[in-house]
Chains A and B, each alone.
Chain A
């Protein structure tokens, strides 16, 4: 290799390009898989399960979107029983309550433009200049276990009573779409929980600042706040009598979001929760089907990459055959001074292995860089559409397999010329 550095470099380059193709295809495939499954799980963990404050309907067993049965209070005791199930990793309680929201009109957004809610009340709107929305409370310390994706800003701080995140449905109230999400940040809202008194309604008002815009499917509602902020509001409304025209049930919690220990244990987790007595829903069947199809795509792309690698390693065979011809005298001298056939064999196999490993490693790095570059371009488009971006990643095991695979293929490709060199008679080689 030292005698023909150019030939060695070209050989390494061909293996590197093939390895780059292999790793780039696998990275893109794996990233797309993660993104598609993430979308199916609506930003939450794949093994997420929605728990409703209702008994399970026997006719809806095994359905992804099971219709709940009769209402049933979901309280702390029930949550402890669910959390104790062997197949459940975490359970996050949810509280939701109806509120009146009094934004200032016209609304000054962060960039100085103004929008108004005039004429945008819709079906849930009302008089007196306020909108009616559902305020969802969750323990945001477990944000990673909830189907919530941040589009702009951040989630409210745990324990805060003055911070709120608005969902995409809130943007529609002002005629805005996802691309305008950041314009909502900093908006001051007055949020009032209504309570029925014999002679009318009185509201408990708090002021909250919009710190984030989210896409959330934890519970139906346009506003997301820490559970500590929502609990007293709901208690105020319920003190006027459950379902006093506000659509509230007497259940301490409006629902919960459980996460199974793995995707394979979602069915068992759902069965366990239903045995506790609550209806569940989870996209497990849909996710399983999509995973199967995506795995086929991954296998095909990996096959294409492996074919490219195999073709590249043929270059190693060609290079080593040429090297054997050029180094016949050297081989003869080695044998004349005592080198055995297997020593010569090992010499050429190591050369082949080094070329393969080097090419594999450089190519894997190059492939990951290419995939990252593609990710930057794709993210630019996705974010311009107000969508969540992607994060190209290649598992370490796959990267290592690519590198080692290139090395192994190179050794296999180098075996014929190495055997030829090993079998050269010493006298014949010296006289060449």
Chain B
């Protein structure tokens, strides 16, 4: 009898431990909150420009416009993007409206494409250069912001000499202000005459800006992929 009781007591002890381990367990279907993450330094990208920076004429401008393509393909996922462009904006218009908005966002990257509407308005080259210098200087925020400035692409409707004058002015401003030049004139992009670039054209424009971004050593460290 003693032997039976001792064996039974042993079994009771083992089974009690097993039961305590299984009873009352409730792994939840609700996943526990994952561990917190420390967000990397946020990059802010602002695009300054006019119709072609807004993707006017595209079926899906908010997806296919070149600043959005650049944002999607060439910048870190943590980047915040605001398109400050206005329809029909000249450099003077941008100085009044877009620059205060952009500077207020304290961007780390700004792209500028402002020449087609000034060409259409007949802005003299000297005036254009002065205003563009003021705009780029403000956007650079004493070197805190990387600024990419696009020159004028090949346009059938504009006199080549005028386009060359604008592009020379842009090159001078870029050198003086420490910005980066995006050579749309030399790139194979859809040059707008009476229509705006296609989605494929916007993609090529984005590639041109991305190439300019990569060329800069500093940009590669900040945005390299």
Contact = CB atoms under 8 A, between A and B. Distances in A.
B122 interface: no
B6 to A, nearest CB: 10
A361 B29 contact: no
Contacts, number: 155
A398 B24 CA distance: 10
Contacts of B29: 149-150, 388-389, 391
Contacts of B23: 368, 393-396, 398-399
B35 interface: yes
A158 B20 CA distance: 34
A209 B77 CA distance: 9
Interface residues of B, number: 51
A141 interface: yes
Contacts of B203: none
A212 B20 CA distance: 34
B80 interface: yes
A223 B96 CA distance: 36
B31 A143 contact: yes
Given A350-B5, A368-B23, A202 B36 contact: no
Contacts of B11: 358, 361
A158 B36 contact: yes
B18 interface: yes
Interface in B11-26: 11-12, 15-16, 18-20, 22-26
Contact of A361 (B19, B30, B80, B97): B19
Interface residues of A, number: 62
Contacts of A205: 68, 71, 80-83
B72 A150 contact: no
Contacts of A150: 29-31
B39 A365 contact: no
Contacts of B19: 361, 364-365, 368, 396, 399, 403
Interface stretch (A98-106, A296-304, A418-426): A98-106
Contacts of A129: 59-60, 62-64
Given A143-B33, A209-B77, A102 B16 contact: no
B22 A368 contact: yes
Q: Which of A158, A199, A200, A202 has the most CB of B within 10 A?
A: A202
Interface in A135-150: 140-144, 148-150
A357 interface: yes
Contacts of B5: 350, 354
Interface in A193-207: 199-200, 202-207
B39 A393 contact: no
A43 B12 contact: no
A361 B12 contact: yes
Contacts of A149: 29-30
B71 A143 contact: no
Contact of A161 (B30, B78, B82): B78
Interface string B173-204: 00000000000000000000000000000000
Contact of B78 (A130, A143, A162, A398): A162
Given A365-B18, A399-B19, A354 B4 contact: yes
A274 to B, nearest CB: 28
A1 B79 CA distance: 78
Contact of A199 (B42, B79, B86): B86
A374 interface: no
Contacts of A394: 23-24
Contacts of B8: 354, 357-358
A2 B34 contact: no
Interface in A220-253: 228, 232
A351 interface: yes
A139 B214 CA distance: 37
A207 B79 contact: yes
A395 B16 CA distance: 14
Contacts of B78: 161-162
Given A347-B1, A365-B18, A391-B26, A159 B63 contact: no
B36 A141 contact: yes
Contact of B33 (A142, A162, A204, A206): A142
A393 B36 contact: no
Contacts of A43: 30
A155 interface: yes
Contacts of A203: 62, 82-83
A261 interface: no
A129 B65 CA distance: 12
Q: Which of B16, B26, B37 has the most chain A CB within a 10 Å cutoff? A: B37
B12 A128 contact: no
B63 A105 contact: yes
A192 B62 contact: yes
Nearest to A143: B33
Contacts of A102: 62-63, 68
Across the A-B interface, the 10 shortest Cβ-Cβ residue pairs: A129-B60, A158-B36, A157-B37, A205-B81, A143-B33, A361-B15, A150-B31, A399-B23, A129-B63, A396-B23
14 contacts: A2-B4, A102-B63, A128-B61, A130-B62, A140-B34, A144-B32, A155-B34, A192-B62, A205-B83, A206-B81, A358-B11, A361-B16, A389-B29, A399-B23
Given A100-B62, A129-B64, A204-B82, 4 more contacts: A2-B3, A190-B71, A364-B19, A399-B23
Interface of B: 1, 3-5, 8, 11-12, 15-16, 18-20, 22-39, 42, 59-64, 68, 71-72, 77-84, 86, 97, 101
